[in-house]
Copies of this chain bind each other. A is one copy, B any other.
């Protein structure tokens, strides 16, 4: 996400500074012209930038916010791209007054998340969730909306609580489904694997580190989705056992309608 963001912003900013603990990532980003300068530690980059955008796994974002909070005295504009928001916002809310900070989550991405897959068009037409912290000044808000605007994304304001509840349903839990489906493939069934199965299990290729942070920081909402989905599975199981095909068909028709509505809405945007 960070690489794609840098790629999209590079011609629109005076300078893009990349920070990563992995030197290879930075060298690749430099060689591809995705970033202009590179640092291995955030504290070394702070003098060179007007805005810091954190784009690591969620728990590393939280650690960085906490570290900055305790160690850095200079004024900083801070934004993040983390996939869950409650815990990140909780850290942001504790930042000292010289920080201006806002939560962000662009609703886009790929299961292939390394720098080699950086795509400057990734953010185009995607909703970009913005979450106000107690450190969100009007200047921070304007800067964030400007970033969203130049990325071609659509700004959507939301509370951290609602974001995390909804994202559990649309992203975190679907990832678990995808991964468990991949897990459940019988050893000898490979000959009858078609495009449907590959599409349904594609998300299981996501970065485990990134996904574990998401699962850990959105545990309660994900547990609720698991319970609700398990109930649905139990209901369908009962209908099948009783050969109640009328009720089963009406569930399937509803699922199809829901999907077609969601696609229509996303086409209106895209």
| Known contacts A174-B200, A196-B171, A243-B219; A166/B184 CB under 8 A | no
**Quick one: which of B110, B186, B200, B237 contacts A226, CB cutoff 8 A?**
B237
Q: In the complex, A208 Cα to B233 Cα: how many Å?
A: 18
Q: Tell me the minimal C-beta distance from A248 to chain B in angstroms.
A: 7
Asked if A183 contacts B255 (CB within 8 A), the reply is yes
Q: Tell me the minimal C-beta distance from A97 to chain B in angstroms.
A: 31
Q: CB-CB < 8 A to A195: which residues of B?
A: 108-110
| Known contacts A199-B203, A226-B237, A248-B215; A255/B192 CB under 8 A | no
| Contact of A53 with B by CB under 8 A | no
Asked if B255 contacts A193 (CB within 8 A), the reply is no
- Taken together, the copies of this chain in the complex come to 2
Asked if A188 contacts B171 (CB within 8 A), the reply is no
Q: In the complex, A228 Cα to B219 Cα: how many Å?
A: 23
Q: CB-CB < 8 A to A212: which residues of B?
A: 245, 248-249, 252
Residue with the greatest number of chain B CB neighbours at <10 A, chosen from A109, A163, A201, A243: A201
Asked if B259 contacts A201 (CB within 8 A), the reply is yes
Q: Mark A254-270, 1 if CB is under 8 A from B, else 0.
A: 11101110110110000
Asked if B174 contacts A256 (CB within 8 A), the reply is no
| Known contacts A184-B225, A215-B240, A232-B184; A204/B258 CB under 8 A | yes
Asked if B229 contacts A180 (CB within 8 A), the reply is yes
Q: Tell me the minimal C-beta distance from A167 to chain B in angstroms.
A: 5
Asked if B158 contacts A174 (CB within 8 A), the reply is no
**Quick one: which of B166, B200, B236 contacts A178, CB cutoff 8 A?**
B200
Q: CB-CB < 8 A to A109: which residues of B?
A: 194-196
Chain B residue nearest to A108 in the complex (CB)? B194
Chain B residue nearest to A172 in the complex (CB)? B196
Q: In the complex, A268 Cα to B148 Cα: how many Å?
A: 41
Q: Mark A221-256, 1 if CB is under 8 A from B, else 0.
A: 011011111101110110011010100110111111
Asked if A192 contacts B163 (CB within 8 A), the reply is yes
Q: In the complex, A198 Cα to B262 Cα: how many Å?
A: 8
**Quick one: which of B189, B236, B240, B253 contacts A169, CB cutoff 8 A?**
B189
Asked if A177 contacts B200 (CB within 8 A), the reply is yes
